[in-house]
Amino acid sequence: MANETNRFQAIISHCKEYGFIFPSSEIYDGLQAVYDYGQWGSELKKNIKDYWWNSMTRMYENIVGIDAAIFMHPTTWKASGHVDNFNDPMIDNKDSKKRYRVDHLIEGYAEMLNAEGRKQEAEQILAGMDSLLAKDDFTGLKKLIEENKIKCPISGTSNWTDIRQFNLMFSTEFGSTVSADDEDNKVYLRPETAQGIFVNFLNVQKSGRMKIPFGIAQIGKAFRNEIVARQFIFRMREFEQMEMQFFIRPGTQKDWYEYWKEERLKWHLALGIPKENYRFHDHIKLAHYADAACDIEFNFPIGFKELEGIHSRTDFDLKNHQEYSKKKMQYYDAEVDPATGKPYGNYIPYVIETSIGLDRMFLAVVSHAYTEEDLSTPEKKDDRVVLKFPPKLAPMKLAVLPLIKKDGLPEIARQIMDDCKSHFRCFYEEKDTIGKRYRRMDAIGTPFCVTVDHQTKEDNTVTIRYRDTMKQDRVPVTEIRKIVLDSL
């Protein structure tokens, strides 16, 4: 059984062993901070996407979705500020030649202090770091590293370079005539999906006859050349975002910001994960586009960390796209302003953004679901690992298990499969003892197993076994579908 300190490691191993996540191109020893989702991981990921997408585009009647390309015109990234500002302060260790993001290096040190029970010191260092980062005070940050004798985890020395800024965007060549060295023609792999929404703002608004306030949602890949990327799928170089830009009248941003903070927390809590696992963290150092921002942090096995960002992005993006593209990014608001008695007229909308990492949400769901249970009795030692996913996210909803491979039981089980598989994901298995099959289903988080036995032939009932309680009931075959659908 894993204790708290190696719980994260146990989750990573479980994800690999049971087909959730594999290191990318593992046969070549993998590629750092890039991962592949396996047979059950891809199902879980898709269910999380659907949960987000359906919530955004069905529950809010004024939000529509789009699917923009990953490549965008290079000027997009000048207008958005990413070419000039999407930098992180980095520091190199001269002995190991390893490069670190300054905030991650200091956070790592604070975590170590926390683990040693030196909570107050850790908090002081983090508060100091936040205020220095907010002022871009690199001299002060280096001093903080030196004064605390923070060491490189590889070389174990404090032989640091000065702190410098590095851009996090990946770039490549487009077609055959453009050189990647040509600053004007570089194409970037998008570092956020949001810009695909901004550049399509008027296309969607006009073609969809959308009226402010309205939102545009998108799920898609994003790429960042993260320097310190060693926390499994928490920080990846290729990842997915689920972002929604909500276009509003200027001056109303404070109210909408509060509204979306609340709405997004409700979305998380609706999954049934207890509230104490979430907290808000207000940003002190604001991104180049924001006038207010906070994170929803989740209690991961590596501590409370950012899961989702909520940003009041002002009119920064649309205004800059208007300037760089020379195309109007304005909206005509026909509603009458009670203060003037006249329509609000033309303006560039303000934007509230909600942005959640799909992979981080995956990690949050898996790490909350991962449970090790000691089932020992005085007679026998026993344990199990069970993933207690909310049923609507579980990769597999129902396992149909004939007790033995003969006497007509597989045929009945197949009929149950036929009755259910077009409604939700089902799994059929007849190999091994029923106990082993239950445990395999626990390990991938299947909420219901039904066993077809000889009694089924007599009274058309099956044993249904509930994953979390392991309780077993006898239910009519005709009710199985409803029981599972009700849980979803």
Q: Which two tokens stand for residue 49?
A: 């996407």
**Which of 11-19, 319-327, 355-363, 479-487 is the region at the interface with ligand GAP (rule: CB under 6 A)?**
355-363
Chain positions 239 to 278 lying near ligand GAP, rule: CB under 6 A, are 239, 241, 243
Residue 351 binds to ligand GAP (criterion: CB under 6 A): no
Given the rule CB under 6 A, which of 65-73, 133-141, 236-244, 473-481 is the region that contacts ligand GAP?
A: 236-244
Task: Report which of 178, 262, 212 is spatially closest to residue 204, judged by C-alpha positions.
Answer: 212
What secondary structure letter does DSSP report for 368?
H
Q: Which amino acid is at 280?
A: F
Least distance (Å) between residue 238 CB and ligand GAP: 8
Tell me, residue by residue from 176 to 195, as one string, x for binding to ligand GAP by CB under 6 A and - for no binding: ----------------x-x-
Cβ proximity to ligand GAP: between 225 and 330 the closer is: 225
- Is 402 a binding residue for ligand GAP by CB under 6 A? The answer is no
Q: How many residues bind ligand GAP (CB under 6 A)?
A: 19
Rounded to whole angstroms, how far apart are CA atoms 176 and 226? 28
> Minimum Å distance from CB 264 to ligand GAP?
11
Min CB(36)–ligand GAP separation in Å = 15
Select 43 or 192, whichever has its Cβ closest to ligand GAP.
192
| Binding flag, residue 359, ligand GAP (CB under 6 A) | yes
**Closest Cα partner for 79 from 318, 304, 393?**
318
Site string for ligand GAP, 22-61 (x = CB under 6 A): ----------------------------------------
Shortest CB 236 distance to ligand GAP, Å: 4
Beta strands in 340-445 (DSSP E): 342-347, 350-357, 370-374, 383-387, 398-402, 426-428
Shortest separation between residue 224's beta carbon and ligand GAP, angstroms: 5
SS3 249: coil
**3-class state of residue 13 by DSSP:** helix
Q: In whole angstroms, how close is the CB of 192 to ligand GAP at the nearest point?
A: 4
Q: Is 430 exposed, middle or buried (0-12, 13-18, 19+ CB in 10 A)?
A: middle
Name the residue number minimizing CB distance to ligand GAP: 357
Of 357, 391, 445, 447, the residue at the interface with ligand GAP (CB under 6 A) is: 357
For the bound state, the minimum distance from the C-beta of residue 308 to ligand GAP, rounded and expressed in Å, comes to 5
Among 236, 329, 365, 399, binds ligand GAP (CB under 6 A): 236
Regarding 103 and contact with ligand GAP (CB under 6 A), the answer is no
Q: Using the CB atoms, write b or e for 221-239: b if 16+ within 10 Å.
A: ebbbbbbbbebbbbbbbbb
Q: Which is nearer to ligand GAP, 215 or 357 (CB)?
A: 357
Binding mask 278-317 for ligand GAP (x = CB under 6 A): ----------------------------xxxx--------
What's the CA gap between 321 and 313, in Å, rounded? 14
- DSSP line for 392-415: TT-S--EEEEESSS-TTHHHHHHH
Q: Does 88 bind ligand GAP (CB under 6 A)?
A: no
Instruction: Select 292 or 385, whichever has its Cβ closest to ligand GAP.
Output: 292
**Burial class, 21, CB count within 10 angstroms (exposed 0-12 / middle 13-18 / buried 19+):** buried
**Tokens 């008695």 — which residue?**
341
Give the residue among 198, 262, 216 at the shortest CA–CA distance from 64: 216
β-sheet bridge partners, residue 308: 296, 356
H-run or E-run covering 82: helix 82-85
> What SS3 class is residue 263?
helix
Q: Applying CB under 6 A, which residues contact ligand GAP?
A: 192, 194, 224, 226, 235-236, 239, 241, 243, 306-309, 353, 355-357, 359-360
